[in-house]
Structure 1
Amino acid sequence: MAAIDLSAGAVLRRVEWTVLRPLDGALQGDFATLFRGEGIDFREMREYVPGDDLRRIDWNTTARMDTPYVRDYSEDRDLTAWLLLDRSASMRFGPTGRGKDAIVVDLVACFAQLLGRGGNKLGAVLFDDGPVATIPPRSGRTQVLRLIHELGRREPRSQATTELAGLLRAAVATIRQRSLVVVISDFISPPGWEKPLRQLAQRHDVMAIQIVDPLEHSLPDVGVIVLQDNETGDQVVVDTGDAGFRSRMAALAEEQNDALTATIRRTGLTLQTIRTDEDLLGAFLRMAHQRKMSRR
């Protein structure tokens, strides 16, 4: 394996002090238990109770008994987790050193440390605009450093539009054992990704995390500027002093976000959104709370 970039260690040290230690203190280590392993060995059939995972409903038994039944499985102690990471050109948007791509690096470092505890295995599928890169799941600090290093060195080779469907289809074909799957993207992509995301959600425990920058939703009044689409290279001159233009931009962004939220909901998932100007500790506390509520 190639030598580990020392900057990966620096990333780990930074998130350890700014996110992980305060998170452990706030949750008393409870965050990792929210991602406990889920085995595939059938244990029993029982009646549905509010809060059960709807994906576990056994429809044949439900139809026969005329009341909802769910299948329970024995729980494994170890967890296998996969990070599906969008590294396309649009992910470079945002302020220097705090763009969407930088947030992904910190998120990966946090997830890798949290999920890697106790010998759990962690792998990744990375997509830019070239061949999908797969890092098989392994445990240990070396694997954490490898993930951060690999993420940092991969950059888009062109301005091609994100094909999120390709990343998700690769995951469907690669991930066979039931796993925790965390999709991290800005979800700026042509249609076609809903079906493979639904397939993943049917087989695995999936989290969908959207990374956004505030400027994508609300332009400040800074006069005439040139905007460039990172994925197509197209440029347009706009007058941000025009209140009507800013209002139309904000309305369009809200419409697109509502459509994305509805699409994610149709797959049976809840969209988690993290802003580039957001404190990651607060984001993880929010995700932990929502995940805890979803398990009830």
Structure 2
Amino acid sequence: MTTAADRLLRRLEWQVLRRLDGQLQGSYRTVFRGTGIDFADLREYMPEDDVRHIDWNVTARLDEPFVRQYTEDRELTAWLVLDLSASMRQSSPEQRGKDSALTELAVSLARLLTYGGNRVGAVLYDNAKQLVLPPRAGRPHVLRIAHELSKATAGTPERGATDIGAMLRLVASTARRRALVFVVSDFIGDNWEAELTRLTFRHEVVAVRVVDPIELDLPDLGLVVVEDAETGEQILVDTGDPQFRLRLRAEVDTREAEVAAAMRRCGVHANVVTTDEDPLQALVAMVRETKRRRR
């Protein structure tokens, strides 16, 4: 019997593998991967190099900056860290939710990575319960990730502010070896910057922010009841009030600037995916942007 998870995987793997054909650099490599873990050689520092790769001992001896070069691993271990908290379950009227966008992105990434023989693990997290799927290769494992995501998003999330820091600590304690880590979340919550920074010390981290457009620009709907997805708190607001819209716009701009600044301090590029766009097209754009930044 064909399950919903199997139908989703069949649809996504056909689209993502076809649309990303030619974007990858080989059957085992991934454009998201920066360096491997095996030291290969030294060369002089170039302005576009990551300063974290500078060999300070050699630089001090030669009085010129040198960077370490690494051989890329043929087999990659990746982790999908998936925020399934209450704020990720919200959706605008007649529009799919952030959890649906997360599911399609996660399954597409898992299939894309395992297609080259790499292993993928997953951490499904909300405040009340967590599920860790150890890294495996192959299509059956991707199907299991899709199945567990379908089950998790069908349930009722725990109320309360998302502890993103705890989610990141969980993957840090689970992923012992250096890996490629995708953190898919709306990053609505506090106390995650320090944990994200620590995660980048050992792993290469790709942040994917899933955002509902209504969070960025609330339309004029008149008097509406607005509910905080995580706490359940409700408030009546007049979305047609110009002063309210100006204050809200300022708060949104401040929040977005703070999140972007925190990501930069962590050394992580924030890829933003909105729920009104095709997640596969967003994934293609993410691949192209990653390649462009590394040229």
TM-score of the two chains, using structure 2 as the length reference: 0.91
State which drifts further: 211-220 or 12-21: 12-21
1:253 match:
252
2:110 match:
112
| Alignment of structure 1 residues 71-220 onto 2, 5 Å | 71-95=68-92, 98-154=96-152, 155-190=155-190, 192-220=191-219
Q: Deviations for 1:199-246, whole angstroms, at most 9, x for unmatched residues?
A: 111211110110000111111111111111111010000111112212
Of 58, 66, 71, which residue of structure 2 is paired with 1:69?
Answer: 66
Q: Offset of 1:28 from its aligned partner? A: 5.1
Structure 2 counterpart SS, 1:188: coil
Structure 1 alignment gaps of length 5 or more: none
1:293 match:
292
Q: Which aligned segments of 4 or more residues in structure 1 are displaced greater than 4 angstroms?
A: 28-32
Q: CA RMSD in A?
A: 2.1
Whole-angstrom distance in 1 between the partners of 2:294 and 2:63: 25
Structure 2 counterpart SS, 1:262: helix
Whole-angstrom distance in 1 between the partners of 2:221 and 2:32: 44
Q: Offset of 1:30 from its aligned partner? A: 4.5
Whole-angstrom distance in 2 between the partners of 1:119 and 1:37: 18
Q: 1:138 to 1:37 in 2, by over 3 A?
A: farther
Structure 1 counterpart SS, 2:69: strand
Whole-angstrom distance in 2 between the partners of 1:93 and 1:285: 25
Q: Deviations for 1:178-200, whole angstroms, at most 9, x for unmatched residues?
A: 1111000000012x211121111
Whole-angstrom distance in 1 between the partners of 2:137 and 2:58: 39
Structure 2 counterpart SS, 1:107: helix
Q: Offset of 1:131 from its aligned partner? A: 3.7
State which drifts further: 284-293 or 85-94: 284-293
Whole-angstrom distance in 1 between the partners of 2:161 and 2:110: 28
Letter in 2 for 1:78: E
Structure 2 counterpart SS, 1:119: coil
Structure 2 counterpart SS, 1:133: strand
Whole-angstrom distance in 1 between the partners of 2:278 and 2:72: 33
Q: Deviations for 1:77-104, whole angstroms, at most 9, x for unmatched residues?
A: 1111001110000001113661100000
Of 51, 74, 81, which residue of structure 1 is paired with 2:48?
Answer: 51
State which drifts further: 110-119 or 93-102: 93-102
Structure 2 counterpart SS, 1:253: helix
Whole-angstrom distance in 1 between the partners of 2:287 and 2:65: 28
Structure 2 counterpart SS, 1:116: helix
Is 1:238 the equivalent of 2:237? yes
Q: 1:143 to 1:97 in 2, by over 3 A?
A: farther
Letter in 1 for 2:171: A
Whole-angstrom distance in 1 between the partners of 2:272 and 2:23: 24
Whole-angstrom distance in 1 between the partners of 2:241 and 2:157: 35
Structure 2 counterpart SS, 1:182: strand
Whole-angstrom distance in 2 between the partners of 1:278 and 1:293: 21
Structure 2 alignment gaps of length 5 or more: none
Of 12, 34, 38, which residue of structure 1 is paired with 2:9?
Answer: 12
1:34 match:
31
Q: Offset of 1:160 from its aligned partner? A: 1.5
State which drifts further: 60-69 or 34-43: 34-43
